[in-house]
Structure 1
């Protein structure tokens, strides 16, 4: 049951981001959430994530989730992401996010994100 609930939480969170509602997304995170962007940076705490989102999401990204795999407190999302930088240039990424939940909130993210070229 937790697996389906976690999928629903992430889908609501992604919808909030798509609508430009970062705070709506953050309402699904614990205060001590920790996000690891493998090979890049680690964000510790909701405030660090808030600041990162404000800087990175110049406008809401386009996120296409291709696959969700859930088991117990873990949810893996595979997909594609398009984001604009501060100069309005689009960048395209493929990702694998591994989310961990605690008490129906996101407590941890381990993100494997690779910039890709589109055709």
Structure 2
């Protein structure tokens, strides 16, 4: 699959809480580093954290920019989700996907940088 299409599909899967597609898109030794917060290590922990995310329901993800190098893709955007009726939270994010050497349809590391957006520009 073309890398642009894959990145779009991955972000749509996060937005729609498509945990099966996401779990199928990682290597067994996945490392998800949410910078400054925690590291989720291994496919089993990754799947558990996806299930928790699913409880929050669908999100609106807007991608501003995507950059690709040989085995990496960097995605910059915003994510917005409802916390309760009539209330939303909005975050800016930058995700760095590092793809497997043996299977370019799977990523082995995801570094997530996230910051709460208090004002809309």
What residue in structure 2 maps to residue 74 of structure 1?
72
Number of equivalenced pairs? 115
Q: Is 1:64 paired with 2:62?
A: yes
Separation in structure 2 between the aligned mates of residue 38 and residue 28 of structure 1, nearest angstrom: 21
**Residues 4-43 of structure 1 aligned to structure 2 (within 5 Å):** 5-43=2-40
* TM-score normalised by the chain length of structure 2: 0.83
In structure 1, stretches of 5+ residues that fail to align are none
* TM-score normalised by the chain length of structure 1: 0.85
In structure 2, stretches of 5+ residues that fail to align are none
The CA RMSD measured in Å over matched residues stands at 1.9
